Amino acid sequence: MKALGMMFVGLLACFSLAQGGVPADWPDPFKLQFQRLQPTAIQPTRVQLSNGVTVLLIEDRTLPFVTGRIYLRAGSIYEPADKVGMSGIFSSVMRTGGAGNRSADQIDETLETLAATVSVNTDNLFTSVAFNTLTENLDQVLSIWADVLIRPSFAQQRLDLEKGRALEAIRRRNDQPTQIAVREFLRRINEGHPSGLVSSAASIQSITRDDLVAFHQRFFKPNVAVMAITGDFNTQEMTAKLERALQGWQRGEVALPTFASPSPKPSIYFVQKETNQSVIYMGNPTVTAYAGGYSELDLASRVLGDGFNSRLFLEVRTKRGLAYATGGAQTQGFGWPGFIYGASISRVEKTAEVIEIMLQQFRDLQSRPVSQEELELFRNNILNAEVFRFTSKQAVAERIARTQMLGLPADYYEQYVRQIQAATPADLQRVMQQYVRPEQFVIVVVGDQRQFDKPLSSLGNVVEVPLE
């Protein structure tokens, strides 16, 4: 709907240029109302294999393709504290280092010949192993996928290659001010939690093949895995194929470690970098995703920093022209709190002024309620985007798989939508007062202090962060 509105604005502008004005009876495009689309929910068939794997299946005969992805709780927060960066190398070498009786080159050549893919991806919480293939090649691709999942070789040569790439990335990671700011902000706001740890040359160099094997043996058990699969198949036949492909994968206990929540130390963390613009991040931890207050806080954060109509964009960039880009959001946290933040890439000679204006936008949302018109604009942005959750059957199946892995209720999103629909200006003000603490923000600034409009110390305690 927003895109339609912008297109309408463009048409108005063209008409205005051609005719010298806009007809008085033309409607304001930003006040047009549209009936909300109601997407049809898709429910997969759920089966459990004999070794405990939960499988979510959705048949889709429109094209001769099959896509699948299996999830395991083997994310980066579970890597050893002295081997930070291992999970990324693990997922790369798990895919590229050979599997079963196949060498790495044999796997690559076969998949290329079949026009198929097998991939391994890792984030904070999960490692997933996926495949995509033409229906006629399903059996061959399932065999390779199962080998990569269950019997990876972790070839030493490929491990050495990935370690070299990781070391080169570390060597170059201070080239871009924005990359520095994001890294330091995540490190500081997640301090005390594994998600705040940052890899180093020493941590990468210490990683061995035995570490990868041990990580795989510890976390890759079928009884804690959930798989999503969609495409051109018969559910009963596909279940039998998966049973055959995954036979021999033995159940086992997986004891996931627990961690304390982040405990950041409020300060202005400054990184000196010779540049003609400053990168600023600020915020504090709030709540876990979909816990009490999350929905209203998410909506409030959109008023703050989501798009051209947000407070930060209008005040910092549009009205004052102080930033090249600015915005903010409330992040999702699963197992530990997410955080609310604001960010700007600003004129270096206006750095302190931008920080003060950004802080004031947070305080304004605490001191007085948003207008009903403003709330409706951002509420509708959320509600109108719901239809895009159902554009892909595989995306639906994968989302349901992750929901189960995270222990969320099946109707978590419906609850979120109801809370967004019911939110009032007073609700947004309440959660901003309850969870947002500008006086205790972690603030990260990357820039050239010789060009700042005034010292950062005039704004609060400054911790100088050397580039590693």
Q: First CA to last CA across the chain, in angstroms?
A: 46
Q: Quick check: is 237 in a domain?
A: yes
pTM across the whole model: 0.89
- The reply to whether 219 and 360 lie within a common domain is no
Residue 460 CA neighbour count, 13 Å, CB half: 19
Count of other CB atoms within 10 angstroms of residue 348? 20
Q: Quick check: is 7 in a domain?
A: no
- The reply to whether 94 and 195 lie within a common domain is yes
- The reply to whether 374 and 341 lie within a common domain is yes
Q: Quick check: is 22 in a domain?
A: no
Count of other CB atoms within 10 angstroms of residue 433? 12
Q: Quick check: is 223 in a domain?
A: yes
Q: Where among 189, 210, 245 does a domain terminate?
A: 245
- The reply to whether 162 and 284 lie within a common domain is no
- The reply to whether 233 and 273 lie within a common domain is no
Q: Tell me which residue of 410, 124, 187 sits closest to 290, measured CA to CA.
A: 410
Q: Where among 213, 245, 277 does a domain terminate?
A: 245
Provide the domain count of the chain: 2
Cα–Cα dist 301/87, whole Å: 31
Cα–Cα dist 131/146, whole Å: 10
Query: Largest alpha-carbon pair distance within the chain?
Result: 76
Cα–Cα dist 58/228, whole Å: 8
- The reply to whether 175 and 296 lie within a common domain is no
The three-class DSSP label of residue 127 is strand
Cα–Cα dist 288/436, whole Å: 14
Q: Which strands sit side by side in the sheet containing 127-134, from one edge to the other?
A: 45-48, 54-59, 226-231, 65-72, 127-134, 117-122
Token readout for 13 is 């502008």
Q: Tell me which residue of 76, 73, 101 sits closest to 88, measured CA to CA.
A: 76
Write out residues in the chain with pLDDT < 70, as ranges: 1-22, 29-40
If 0-12 CB within 10 Å is exposed, 13-18 middle and 19+ buried, where does residue 166 land? buried
Strand positions, DSSP E, 163-276: 226-231, 267-272
- The reply to whether 181 and 277 lie within a common domain is no
Q: What is the pLDDT of residue 5?
A: 42
3-class secondary structure per residue, 393-441:
HHHHHHHHHHHHHHCCCCCHHHHHHHHHHHCCHHHHHHHHHHHCCHHHC
The three-class DSSP label of residue 286 is coil
Between CA 388 and CA 396, with CA 393 as vertex, the angle to 5 degrees is: 65
Residues 231 and 67 sit within 8 Å (Cβ to Cβ): yes
Q: Quick check: is 97 in a domain?
A: yes
Q: Quick check: is 328 in a domain?
A: yes
- The reply to whether 165 and 235 lie within a common domain is yes
Q: What is the pLDDT of residue 376?
A: 96
CATH number where 230 lies: 3.30.830.10
Beta-carbon contacts of 373 under 8 Å, excluding residues fewer than 6 positions away, are none
Q: What is the pLDDT of residue 389?
A: 87
Q: What is the pLDDT of residue 16?
A: 45
Q: Quick check: is 250 in a domain?
A: no
The three-class DSSP label of residue 69 is strand
Q: Quick check: is 259 in a domain?
A: no
- The reply to whether 287 and 423 lie within a common domain is yes
Provide the residue range defining the domain that includes 73.
45-245
Name the DSSP letter for residue 315: I
- The reply to whether 191 and 126 lie within a common domain is yes
- The reply to whether 89 and 189 lie within a common domain is yes
Q: What is the pLDDT of residue 30?
A: 59
Helix 156-172 × helix 86-96 angle, to 10°: 140
- The reply to whether 354 and 388 lie within a common domain is yes
Token readout for 269 is 């963390």
Backbone angles phi, psi at 432, to 5 degrees: -65, -35
